[in-house]
């Protein structure tokens, strides 16, 4: 029987970091359980191929939402990595820590010890940043972070247009000052995707005390209110991987609550309905589901300088060959090389809108490319009040869970998105874009009224693929908390959760960096190590925040 001190379910962003840190001193054995296969091959390792793996059943669990009531019953894709590296192997490789105030909010919401001052040292420990603000960035960690080359003039046009519209610029949105237009950071190293597998898991697996067990996690085995192992299915047989010390679930905001519920931890009523014996009645398991939504605002480009030229078969073959042989060229970037974080209005203390800029008019999944040269901004609000849930469809572990984000449930969501569209039009209308700006492709110049914009939002808004929050961290006496501030599942010994599911509230921007940070900090809690000393760095807050949006 496989047995180790620590058993981690999931080889994703947090799970890989945990495997690396828990095994670092050689004193403890670690088993990582992962159902997904190898991350070898160009579809994952080549940054520009990012639209492929999330559309491949080989690498993605293939989840979709239930019909979303506020989006005309649309079912939205909810990709989650089913591969070594988890979602860090199929994501867009964008690196954003989140805003300092996000983590201060976590601490205020009951996650004591997770304020910005307390998590900043862990961000620094994990990073190997090639650029960015001294004193704020890590230079020696396993996770390589770089900036794209920004060779296409449209990137600089976007940043300059932001300045012309009166917004801030920032040299480093992952430093003291998130607010502003900036170069975007990427988890890419030497032309390859630098996933959590490349950064953490593969180095950890070279150690004698770490092993990878391929299998499908069916449930956590709990005896006398203590987790003692994980029941897995491998090679058509069911077996138990035993944990001498602890089981750590790092299985994503979708699969972590599902696994807890299958193990008898969750809302008692739901568990009984599926014939599952209740081990711990935790009504918060699967609730508090959050995500970011975004729209693609697309503009025709009058000069033939966009990525549209590279979409033909011959171009793709040449780009692929250059990447295969030299790890360079257009294949070596995710093409998200310019960004912005701005505030929607006066009275908002810190940014609540994010931009990704792309010198192409194309969907994230690589489909529905515009038939012309174009550029686009992905834009969306960061802090929707809408909340959804993940529930069991069946007691069968192989059945996909029911995912309801309840997107756009608040009237504010609609007002926020209308503002995002109009603000993007204002930015695209600046002089910096004059040499390039053609007609508006989407939503289209005729869409000006609130009703027309709402119709566009309803039909075209897409997930940014940032699910989180379903095993919320909080005060142990809060009935909706699932884990305490040391990530221990409340009501069960020897069991923790450490992934994006523990976020009390979604952070600003992409979630890969804060997910890895959770794994880093969790390791110190699990090993009972002294936590890294809090930082005394003061984040920048716009002095005009009460009177202006810029």
260 marked ligand binding residue: no
CATH no., domain 149-183+293-381+408-460: 3.30.410.40
Secondary-structure class of domain 1-70+77-95+192-290+467-532 per CATH = alpha beta
Beta strands in 185-236 (DSSP E): 185-186, 188-189, 192-193, 210-214, 216-223, 226-234
pLDDT tens for each residue of the chain, 550 residues long: 799 999 999 999 999 999 999 999 999 999 999 999 999 999 999 999 999 998 899 999 999 999 999 999 999 999 999 999 999 999 999 999 999 999 999 999 999 999 999 999 999 999 999 999 999 999 999 999 999 999 999 999 999 999 999 999 999 999 999 999 999 999 999 999 999 999 999 999 999 999 999 999 999 999 999 999 999 999 999 999 999 999 999 999 999 999 999 999 999 999 999 999 999 999 999 999 999 999 999 999 999 999 998 888 899 999 999 999 999 999 999 999 999 999 999 999 999 999 999 999 987 666 656 789 999 999 999 999 999 999 999 999 999 999 999 999 999 999 999 999 999 999 999 999 999 999 999 999 999 999 999 999 999 999 999 999 999 999 999 999 999 999 999 999 999 999 999 999 999 999 999 999 999 999 999 999 999 999 999 999 999 999 999 9
> CB neighbours (10 Å) of residue 477?
9
16 marked ligand binding residue: yes
Separation CA 179–CA 309 (nearest Å): 33
465 marked ligand binding residue: no
Separation CA 349–CA 331 (nearest Å): 38
37 marked ligand binding residue: no
455 marked ligand binding residue: no
Assess whether the region 1-70+77-95+192-290+467-532 and the region 149-183+293-381+408-460 belong to the same CATH fold: no
30 marked ligand binding residue: yes
262 marked ligand binding residue: no
pLDDT for res 375: 97
> CB neighbours (10 Å) of residue 148?
21
pLDDT for res 311: 84
Closest listed residue to residue 443, CA positions, set 295, 301, 308: 295
Q: List the chain domain ranges.
A: 1-70+77-95+192-290+467-532, 149-183+293-381+408-460
Please classify residue 390 by burial: count the beta carbons closer than 10 Å to its beta carbon, then call 0-12 exposed, 13-18 middle and 19+ buried. buried
- From the list 274, 410, 466, 525, the catalytic residue is 466
**Under a CB-based contact definition with an 8 Å cutoff, are residues 239 and 232 in contact?**
yes
How, if at all, do strands 210-214 and 402-404 pair?
Answer: unpaired
Please report which helix (H) or strand (E) contains residue 270, including its range. Answer: helix 268-273
81 marked ligand binding residue: no
Query: Would you call 70 a catalytic residue per the annotation?
Result: no
Query: Which residues does 432 contact at the CB level (< 8 Å), separation at least 6?
Result: 156, 157, 158, 160, 161, 164
In the block, residue with structure tokens 């805003």? 99
Is the whole model's pTM more than 0.95, yes or no?
A: yes
**Under a CB-based contact definition with an 8 Å cutoff, are residues 263 and 219 in contact?**
yes
**Under a CB-based contact definition with an 8 Å cutoff, are residues 225 and 204 in contact?**
no
Exposure class string for 414-434: b at 16+ Cβ within 10 A, else e: bebbbbbbebbbebbbbebbe
10 marked ligand binding residue: yes
63 marked ligand binding residue: no
């Amino acid at each position: 029987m496989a047995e180790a001190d620590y058993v981690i379910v999931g080889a994703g962003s947090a799970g890989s970091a945990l495997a690396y840190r828990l095994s670092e001193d050689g004193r403890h054995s670690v088993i990582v359980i992962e159902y997904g296969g190898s991350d070898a091959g160009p579809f994952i390792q080549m940054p520009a191929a990012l639209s492929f793996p999330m559309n491949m059943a080989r690498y993605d669990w293939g989840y979709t939402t239930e019909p979303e009531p506020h989006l005309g019953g649309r079912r939205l894709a909810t990709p989650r990595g089913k591969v070594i590296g988890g979602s860090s192997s199929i994501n867009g490789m964008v690196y954003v820590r989140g805003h300092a105030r996000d983590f201060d909010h976590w601490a205020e919401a009951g996650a004591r010890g997770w304020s910005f001052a307390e998590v900043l040292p862990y961000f620094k420990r994990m990073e190997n940043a090639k650029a960015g603000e001294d004193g704020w960035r890590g230079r020696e960690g396993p996770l390589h972070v770089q900036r794209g080359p920004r060779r296409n003039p449209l990137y600089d046009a976007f940043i300059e247009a932001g300045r012309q519209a009166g917004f801030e610029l920032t040299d480093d949105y992952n430093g003291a000052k998130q607010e502003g237009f900036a170069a975007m950071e990427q988890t890419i190293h030497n032309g390859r995707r630098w996933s959590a597998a490349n950064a953490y898991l593969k180095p950890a697996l070279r150690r004698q005390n770490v092993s990878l067990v391929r299998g499908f996690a069916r449930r956590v085995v709990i005896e006398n209110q203590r987790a003692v192992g994980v029941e897995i299915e491998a090679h058509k047989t069911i077996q138990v991987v035993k944990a001498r010390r602890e089981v750590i679930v790092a299985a994503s905001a979708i699969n972590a609550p599902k696994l807890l519920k299958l193990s008898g931890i969750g809302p008692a009523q739901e568990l009984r309905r599926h014939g599952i014996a209740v081990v711990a009645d935790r009504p918060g398991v699967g609730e508090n589901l959050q995500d970011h939504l975004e729209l693609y605002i697309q503009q025709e480009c009058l000069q033939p300088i966009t990525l549209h030229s590279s979409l033909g078969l011959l171009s793709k073959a040449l780009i692929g060959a250059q990447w295969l042989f030299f790890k360079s060229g257009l294949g070596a970037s995710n093409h998200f090389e310019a960004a912005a974080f701005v505030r929607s209005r006066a009275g908002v203390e810190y940014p609540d809108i994010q931009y990704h800029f792309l010198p192409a008019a194309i969907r994230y999944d690589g489909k529905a490319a515009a038939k012309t040269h174009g550029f686009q901004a992905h834009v969306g609000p960061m802090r929707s009040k809408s909340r959804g849930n993940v529930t069991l469809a069946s007691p069968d572990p192989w059945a996909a869970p029911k995912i309801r984000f309840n997107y756009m449930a608040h009237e504010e969501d609609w007002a926020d998105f209308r503002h995002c569209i109009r603000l993007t039009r204002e930015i695209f209308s600046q002089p910096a874009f004059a040499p390039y700006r053609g007609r508006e492709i989407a939503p289209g110049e005729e869409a000006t009224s609130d009703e027309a914009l709402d119709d566009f939002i309803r039909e075209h808004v897409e997930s940014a693929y940032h699910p989180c929050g379903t095993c919320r961290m909080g005060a142990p006496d809060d009935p909706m908390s699932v884990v305490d501030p040391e990530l221990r599942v409340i009501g069960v010994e020897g069991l923790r959760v450490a992934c994006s599911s523990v976020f009390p509230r979604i952070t600003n921007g992409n979630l890969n960096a804060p997910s890895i940070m959770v794994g880093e900090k969790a390791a110190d809690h699990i090993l009972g190590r002294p936590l890294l000393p809090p930082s005394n760095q003061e984040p920048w807050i716009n002095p005009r925040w009460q009177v202006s949006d810029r």
